[in-house]
Structure 1
Amino acid sequence: MNMKLKKFSSEITLLSFPLLMIACGPGEVAQESEADLVTRAQGIHERVITLDTHDDISASNFTVDRNYTMDLGNQVNLPNMEEGGLDVAFFIAFV
């Protein structure tokens, strides 16, 4: 093979690769609506185990009148965990 033909063949190969990649690409990706995306995310959330590995709770919330079973406006409490679908929580009590 002469030198010009060999160079031309190499150039064709180099130019063909990007074109092939474009042709084999994903094409148009369907856009999900916000509602569809939320529905899909909720489905995933229901199928997986949701856990929080570090929950800080105050010792002052361990009384009969105030405890983690009540929604006290704090971040970590049983009503919020149930509403959010939390399956497992590791608690850290600070005093």
Structure 2
Amino acid sequence: MTPVQRDLARHALGLDGRRKESYRNYFVTGEGGTDHPHWLAMVEAGYATRRSGSILTGGDDFFRLTRAGADLALDPGESLNTVEFSPVQPQKDTTA
């Protein structure tokens, strides 16, 4: 994730340096917007999903971060809202 993409991801999560927990997970931008190519690259990398524009978004695309993308956007001491992202469960040891 590039520094610009990380800034966009933090904005999508509502993390502004004062909050310690995300409170949303969306970003709306359309073709021709300077942010749009960055979001398309995040979709390609598996860091976000894209829903094509609708009347509700004024025709612009609606992006949401995946868990992988959201985790990369966090600073130390920050967390993701459990309404948007379920808590990560510890992996069970299957080698026994």
TM-score of the superposed pair, with normalisation by structure 2: 0.20
Q: Larger Rg: 1 or 2?
A: 1
Q: Which has the higher helix share?
A: 1
TM-score of the superposed pair, with normalisation by structure 1: 0.20
